[in-house]
Structure 1
Amino acid sequence: MIEIRTAHGLQSTGRTVTGYAAVYDSPADLGDFVELVKPGAFDASLRSKVNVRALYDHQGPAILGTTKSQTLRLWSDAKGLAFAMDIPNTTVGNDVLELVKRGDVSGCSFGFIVPAGGDAWRNGDKPIRELRSVNLLEVTLTSNPAYQATEVALRSAAQAKRRSDLNALWLETCA
């Protein structure tokens, strides 16, 4: 199942947008549970040199950069998963850059898959999920962050199953 999460605080200089796709140990209330991204959660993905895409609103055609082309640069620091992306001089890129500069787009999400053993659950007032290792697929600039009662927070078992099935199909076609 591909999952999506959010952080805020984009900045731009020229055509380069920077920010944090995830902030470590920052609790996110996703409705039925609280989630924490733990330091080191992205280390395996960053080491693997997998081609991570930068998108606008999780839309595949709205590509803004990739790690393969080095137009998206990702690193982990003490705060979280940081990024810098060079926005392309395309219709989508120009529109997104203007929206970031105006403050209309100020959020960032990331799409990921949790491998076996990549998360742990604890009991509390609400269950707490710790993301300890994830397979990072994308970083997205968005005006509709996942942590603000979007479909991630409201997902149902049927939606999760459908996403899992679609992800399996996608992985088969990429193999």
Structure 2
Amino acid sequence: MEPEKLHSIGRITKLHGIKGAVILRGSGELSSLLKGQKVVFVEFDGYPVPFFPEETEFLSDDTAIVRFRDIGSPVKNEELPGREVFLLRQKVRRKKELTFHDLIGYAFVDKRTGQTGNVTGVVDYEMNPLLQVNNGNVEFLVPFAEPVIQRIDHKNRIIEADLPEGLADINENAQDE
């Protein structure tokens, strides 16, 4: 399944209890995204593997305890903490406003240097969110701020940016190493 057909809803942070449940932490809309879902996907070795939520308890809008069907012990869940969880993009009930996590999978182009890559993650600092961009050789962080991000084309899933001179130099030097 292609990554552009998936929507990241969060990450499994740790195991919970003796019945094989896990703690899932996501954005502030996790509860609305996860309610009623019959299948989620957990990434293993770059591939989405289906898991079937049997029981979900929401601790807050961004945290849930989830127990998956056919997994009744913590031993079977040992490899889950730290893994990202996805829904099929078509199953995501869209609000009018997108979240930063919706930008994962978008192509990234720096108009000034021509540097390209793909958005692989988001570091969601409250006052200064950062996009994680991987260009195949190196991963770098880009401030998600108006002077840097010039245009977002949601239809073609492309982010056009104008990286500040110092940041572009750091990224180019990291790529050369």
Tell me the TM-score normalised to structure 1 length: 0.39
Identify the structure with bigger relative contact order (alpha carbons < 8 Å, sequence gap 6+). Answer: 1
Tell me the TM-score normalised to structure 2 length: 0.39
User: Whose helix fraction is larger, Structure 1's or Structure 2's?
Assistant: 1
